[in-house]
Amino acid sequence: PQPWRHVCGFRSRSSSAVMAEEAKKLAAYAAVDNHIQNNQVVGVGSGSTIVYAVDRLAERVRQEKLNIVCVPTSFQARQLILKHGLSLSDLDRHPELDVAIDGADEVDASLTLIKGGGGCLTQEKIVAGCAKHFIVIADYRKDSKALGQQWKKGVPVEVIPIAYVPVSRAIARRFGGEAVLRMAVSKAGPVVTDNSNFILDWKFEHAQNWKEVNTAIKMIPGVVETGLFVGMAERVYFGMEDGSVKIR
Ligand code: 5RP
């Protein structure tokens, strides 16, 4: 039997969900084992895949008595760090990180990423930008030849709340598609980020020069950050359906 069918706690879920969870874990464990060493400052990303990375990091810190300092990218990451009793810091005290590890919503052939499915893109980009090495962990569903082939929800863009309508119109006018305000699951109101901003999900119509698009969107007044990570990821670990890990 394949090991992922026996992962504790996931047995009642569909087999594809089980496989994806085990694939996240495989990627996360491999990245932590390959890139974390003693005396490092580590950026901790956000999402569901990073949970496995922090599990493994905490295990290694305990077993190998590593001296690791963690800088979070979100409230969620901060809670994870605290829950595991890891050493919590910030960019004031540690503006230079040795490595940042984070998930992604989609990764193309040249390691351009869409991030921000969880709405933490701004802190994630800041922390990744402060790290010597930015390592991405993902399951096989995030692997894509060209952005938009896998992740159908578009590129997240964090905006200052009063600007969401003009920014949405400016993006659609300039680049096509539609930039839609992200609503809370309850539909009672918009999603509000850790920075008290809103998120637009820009559903683009065709492939673009992502570097230029990223820069141009950032120039629109009211835009805080985009979920396009261009030229930032050094390595991506994909956990695969067959239990292997693919490194790009
Ligand atoms: C949050 C992110 C996440 O890293 C991204 O959404 C991937 O999440 P998951 O690991 O749950 O698939 O960018 O803003």
For residue 16, what pLDDT band results from cuts at 50, 70 and 90?
Answer: confident
Q: Kindly give the distance from the C-alpha atom of residue 125 to the centroid of ligand 1, in angstroms, as a whole number.
A: 12
Please write down the HEC assignment for all residues of the chain. CCHHHHCCCCCCCCHHHHHHHHHHHHHHHHHHHHHCCCCEEEEECCCCHHHHHHHHHHHHHHHHCCCEEEEECCHHHHHHHHHCCCEECCCCCCCCEEEEEECCCEECCCCCEECCCCCCHHHHHHHHHCEEEEEEEEEHHHECCCCCCCCCCCEEEEECHHHHHHHHHHHHHHHCCEEEECECCCCCCECCCCCCCEEEEEECCCCCCHHHHHHHHHCCCCEEEECEECCCCCEEEEECCCCCEEEC
List 21, 22, 106, 124, catalytic entry? 124
Ligand 1 pocket list (CB less than 6 A): 45-49, 102-105, 115-121, 124
Give the chain's mean pLDDT. Answer: 93
User: For 43-65, what is the mean pLDDT?
Assistant: 98
Residue ID of nearest Cα to ligand 1 atom 8: 47
User: For 12-40, what is the mean pLDDT?
Assistant: 90
Query: Please, are residues 134 and 100 in contact by the beta-carbon 8 Å criterion?
Result: yes
For residue 187, what pLDDT band results from cuts at 50, 70 and 90?
Answer: confident
Query: Please, are residues 68 and 62 in contact by the beta-carbon 8 Å criterion?
Result: no
Report yes or no on whether pTM surpasses 0.90: yes
Q: Which amino acid is at 93?
A: R
Q: Kindly give the distance from the C-alpha atom of residue 155 to the centroid of ligand 1, in angstroms, as a whole number.
A: 12
Calculate the dihedral angle through the C-alpha atoms of 205, 146, 214, 27, rounding to the nearest 10 degrees: 130
User: For 162-191, what is the mean pLDDT?
Assistant: 96
Q: Kindly give the distance from the C-alpha atom of residue 214 to the centroid of ligand 1, in angstroms, as a whole number.
A: 19
Residue ID of nearest Cα to ligand 1 atom 4: 103
Query: Please, are residues 49 and 137 in contact by the beta-carbon 8 Å criterion?
Result: yes
Determine the residue of 21, 48, 74, 237 to mutate for testing ligand 1's pocket, defined as the one with the most ligand atoms within 8 A of the Cβ atom.
48
Query: Please, are residues 44 and 134 in contact by the beta-carbon 8 Å criterion?
Result: no
Q: Is the ipTM of this complex over 0.85?
A: yes
Q: Is 158 a catalytic residue?
A: no
Q: Kindly give the distance from the C-alpha atom of residue 246 to the centroid of ligand 1, in angstroms, as a whole number.
A: 19
